[in-house]
Amino acid sequence: EAHRPLAGRRAIVTSGPTHEPIDPVRYIANRSSGKQGHAIAAALATLGADVTLVSGPTRLPDPPGCTVVAIETAREMLAACAAALPADIAVCAAAVADWRVDGASDRKLKKDGGRPPSLALTENPDILATLSRPGEGRPALVVGFAAETGDVLAYATAKRARKGCDWIVANDVSPGTGTFGGSDNTVHLIRADGVESWPTMAKDAVAARLAEAVAEHFAGK
């Protein structure tokens, strides 16, 4: 008998980086591999959830059993998440670009002997904060990530309050930890009632344990 405690539950998972265009051939991006977010989507699906994975560009295969929506920009990610509602669970593991280029050019910028262009940046929408906003249609459980360097617990706890999400998965991404692009992760699960620090384990194992915690939450344990 398969263990499918999340059967009948809908989940939205964001993963990967976003790409923010400068012009038709250039973009601003970041080093997110999408490994942790994709693993969480797969783990929730394994427990029976109906998962929509909204992902920026990655080099990863689509996780089995998930509906995958490929997007590039933060604004597209927000629209795809909104379109995937209603959901019981939202896990925002994407590394969303904080800024996009204000008024990206529809033509390739030219190096025509003049001065290099300056890029004016404008703030992107915060998908986690938007999904966490109280009101009808808010997923019952919203989980965010906090990648910090130093003072991980203090910053992550403050982030949980600021974003309005239910849980924060906090990890230390200081140079030398190998978290970015690596296969292992060391995380702390921050909930209203306290912090659980997990041993270093493979991102797949972090995903499986997080999915079990989600299942226990809905089982009322």
Catalytic-role residue among 30, 124, 171, 185: 30
Q: How many helices (H) and strands (E) does the chain have?
A: 5, 14
The rounded distance, in Å, linking the Cα atoms of 189 and 197 is 6
User: Is residue 73 a contact residue for ligand C5P (CB under 6 A)?
Assistant: no
User: Is residue 126 a contact residue for ligand C5P (CB under 6 A)?
Assistant: yes
CB under 8 Å to 68, separation ≥6 — which residues?
52, 53, 55, 62
Task: Please tell me whether 180 is known to bind a ligand.
Answer: no
- Please say if 171 is a catalytic residue: no
DSSP state of 190: E
User: Is residue 96 a contact residue for ligand C5P (CB under 6 A)?
Assistant: yes
Nearest approach in angstroms of CB 8 to ligand C5P is: 25
State which of residues 47, 66, 74, 215 lies at the interface with ligand C5P (CB under 6 A): 74
By DSSP bridging, strand 141-148 and strand 89-92 are: parallel
The rounded distance, in Å, linking the Cα atoms of 218 and 49 is 12
Nearest approach in angstroms of CB 175 to ligand C5P is: 17
Q: Which is nearer to ligand C5P, 40 or 93 (CB)?
A: 93
Q: Which is nearer to ligand C5P, 48 or 69 (CB)?
A: 69
Cβ burial, residue 115 (10 Å; 0-12/13-18/19+): exposed
Q: Which is nearer to ligand C5P, 27 or 145 (CB)?
A: 145
How big is the CA angle at 7 (ends 14 and 49), to the nearest 5 degrees? 10
User: Is residue 53 a contact residue for ligand C5P (CB under 6 A)?
Assistant: no
Structure tokens at 203: 């991102």
User: Is residue 206 a contact residue for ligand C5P (CB under 6 A)?
Assistant: no
User: Is residue 173 a contact residue for ligand C5P (CB under 6 A)?
Assistant: no
User: Is residue 207 a contact residue for ligand C5P (CB under 6 A)?
Assistant: no
User: Is residue 94 a contact residue for ligand C5P (CB under 6 A)?
Assistant: yes
| 3-class state of residue 61 by DSSP | coil
The rounded distance, in Å, linking the Cα atoms of 209 and 198 is 9
DSSP state of 86: S
User: Is residue 167 a contact residue for ligand C5P (CB under 6 A)?
Assistant: no
The residues assigned a catalytic role are: 30
Q: Detail the residues annotated as belonging to a binding site for CTP.
A: 98, 108, 125-128, 145, 159, 163
Residues that bind ligand C5P (CB under 6 A): 14, 74, 92-94, 96, 124, 126-128, 144-146, 159
